[in-house]
Amino acid sequence: MQNIKKIISSLDNHKMFKLIEAKSIKKLIKNHRIIGYRNDGIGSRLMTYVNLVRLSKKFNCKFIFYWDTRSDKNSPSYPHSLSTNINNYLPNLKNIKFYNSKNSKINNFSLQEWKIIVCKGEKKQRVLKECSEIANKIFKNNSSKIKKNNIIYKYGLHLRLGDINAFTRRNYSKNKLISHRENFNLGKWYPSNFWIEICKKIDSKILVASSDYRETTKIFKNFNNIKYCNKLVHKKENETYKFIFDIVSISQTKNAICSLASGSGLIICLLSKNNVFTPEAFLKIENIFFDFYEIILINYYKVNTMKSLIRHNIRYFLSKVFDFKLDFLSELFKRSNN
Q: Which long-range contacts (CB under 8 A, 24 or more apart) does 100-104 make?
A: 100/68, 100/69, 100/70, 101/39, 101/68, 101/70, 101/75, 102/70, 102/72, 102/75
**Confidence (pLDDT) at 173:** 47
Confidence of residue 62 (pLDDT cuts 50, 70, 90): very high
Q: What is the pLDDT of residues 261-273, one digit of tens each?
A: 999 999 999 999 9
Question: Is the model's pLDDT at 329 over the cut of 90?
Answer: no
Helices (H) and strands (E) in the chain, counts: 12, 11
Three-state DSSP class for residue 12: helix
Positions of E strands within 55-130: 62-68, 96-99, 116-119
d(CA 244, CA 47): 14
Between 315 and 231, whose confidence is greater? Answer: 231
**Confidence (pLDDT) at 84:** 57
How much is the mean pLDDT over the chain? Answer: 83
- The percentage of residues in the chain with a pLDDT greater than 70, rounded to a whole number, is 81
**Confidence (pLDDT) at 149:** 41
Ordered by start, the domain boundaries in the chain are 16-139, 155-288
Contact 319, 312 (CB under 8 A): no
Q: What is the pLDDT of residues 135-194, one digit of tens each?
A: 999 998 776 665 454 557 999 999 987 677 666 655 444 444 444 556 777 788 888 899
**Confidence (pLDDT) at 75:** 66
**Confidence (pLDDT) at 83:** 54
Contact 69, 98 (CB under 8 A): yes
**Fold classification of 155-288 (topology level):** Rossmann fold (3.40.50)
The separation between CA 88 and the C-alpha centre of its own chain, rounded to angstroms, equals: 24
Q: What is the pLDDT of residues 87-129, one digit of tens each?
A: 888 889 999 998 888 888 887 688 999 999 999 899 999 999 9
Question: Is the model's pLDDT at 130 over the cut of 80?
Answer: yes
Q: Where are the alpha helices (DSSP H) in 142-278?
A: 176-179, 192-200, 213-219, 239-251, 263-271
d(CA 123, CA 249): 29
**Confidence (pLDDT) at 104:** 80
**Confidence (pLDDT) at 299:** 76
**Confidence (pLDDT) at 151:** 58
